[in-house]
Chain A
Amino acid sequence: MDTDEKPLNEQASLALINRMINSAQQGVSDNGFYFLLWGWLVFAAAMGNWTLIHVFPTELNWLPWAILMPLGGIVSGIYGWKVERKKKVKTYADEVMDYVAAAFLIALFSVLFVFSWKLGWATTYPFIMIIYGIWLFVSGGVLKFRPLIYGGLINFACAIGSLWIHSYHMILVLAFAVLAGYIIPGHLLKAKYNREKHNAAV
């Protein structure tokens, strides 16, 4: 686009508008970082917690949560500071996702560190899965990515179903919910992002 005053006819104006709007939407898709980070951390914490309850019993069985969740918060914060702030463009979807992520973290930490202390661990798992379900469902809708929406629905189903499951198995339901809701869709989202990036470069 060499000159600003180049005359435009009406058809060319509409074509230019369409081209620019489509172009603005390219390259702003999500790389799945947060889904993979939180998916793997929660999966590891849940399995670690289960192992320390049933395989190597210890009173410190909550330790994987106490270590991995704040670690996730710190890594998310650093990633947000280092990578997200360097984005050349911020879409309306990005803005919505920022608020959803903030609400998710506040709710998650409230459940992990206040609800669990006040109500006991076993009662908190369904709350955790409901919170995950909301984040996944909203994110899937905003990003127009169905695997995340299905992941959200699986988390809702697991949250409700776990109410009828003995607390002994509840943590395994959580691990499954995270695998189906975060880890698998997270990898699919990352693959989609890499594909789009590759196509844009070709």
Chain B
Amino acid sequence: MLPFKDLDPILHSQLRLAVISLLISVREAEFTFLKEKTGATAGNLSVQIGKLKDAGYIDVEKKFRDNYPLTICRITPKGTKAFHEYVKAIQQYINSSNK
């Protein structure tokens, strides 16, 4: 078995990984889109988005549309790199487990 590479603790969490996986496939997404797709509660999602933002993995833009607050999230280059490394690490681990 190949030596196990430590998985990024920021991404190795169900909801944060789901958010990053959604954002990697799109240019930008609103908070409501992420909530709808992940099925998470607004409170929990806010906390996890905050953690991803603090890690520099996503950008969060807050603005208003028709007097309603709007939160838009985008993955950053750092987030994209971390996601690819995470996937690579998992694949390596799975491949070595199968040998």
Specify which of B14, B24, B39, B86 is in contact with A4 (CB 8 Å cutoff). Answer: B14
Tell which of A2, A8, A11, A23 touches B17, judged by Cβ atoms closer than 8 Å.
A8
Task: Judge whether A5 and B22 touch: CB under 8 Å.
Answer: no
Complex contacts, A10 vs chain B, CB 8 Å? 90, 93-94, 97
Number of A-B contacts (CB under 8 A): 93
Task: Decide yes or no whether B2 CB sits under 8 A from chain A.
Answer: no
Are A90 and B90 in touch, CB under 8 angstroms? no
Q: How far, in angstroms, from A140 to B41 measured CA to CA in the complex?
A: 38
Interface residues of B in 1-23 (CB under 8 A from A): 12-18, 21-22
Specify the main secondary structure of chain A where it touches its partner.
helix
A14 touches B27 (CB 8 A): no
Q: How far is the CA of A20 from the CA of B68 in the complex (A)?
A: 27
Q: Any chain B CB within 8 A of the CB of A199?
A: no
| Band of interface residues on A | 20 to 34
Q: Whole-angstrom distance between the alpha carbons of A21 and B87 in the complex?
A: 13
Given A3-B44, A20-B22, verify A95-B27 contact (CB < 8 Å). yes
Q: Is the CB of A16 within 8 A of B21?
A: yes
Interface size on B, residues (CB 8 A): 35
Interface membership of B82, Cβ < 8 A: no
The reply to whether B37 and A23 form a contact with Cβ atoms under 8 Å apart is yes
Taking CB atoms, residues of chain A closer than 8 Å to B94 are 10-11, 14
> Complex formed: what's the CA distance from A92 to B25 in Å?
8
Which listed residue, A6, A86, A90, A91, touches B14 by the CB 8 Å rule? A6
Given contacts A4-B15, A4-B47, A20-B37, whether A90 and B29 have CB atoms under 8 Å apart is yes
Footprint of A on B, CB under 8 Å? 12-18, 21-22, 24-30, 32-33, 36-41, 44, 47-48, 65, 86-87, 90-91, 93-94, 97
Give chain A's interface residues, CB within 8 Å of chain B.
Answer: 1-6, 8, 10-11, 13-14, 16-17, 19-21, 23-25, 28, 85-86, 88-92, 94-95
Q: List 19 A-B contacts (CB under 8 A).
A: A1-B40, A4-B13, A4-B16, A4-B48, A10-B93, A10-B94, A10-B97, A17-B21, A20-B21, A21-B22, A24-B22, A88-B30, A88-B32, A88-B36, A89-B26, A89-B33, A90-B27, A90-B29, A91-B27
9 other A-B residue contacts (CB within 8 Å) besides A1-B15, A2-B44, A8-B17: A1-B39, A5-B13, A8-B13, A17-B17, A20-B17, A21-B25, A28-B26, A86-B65, A88-B30
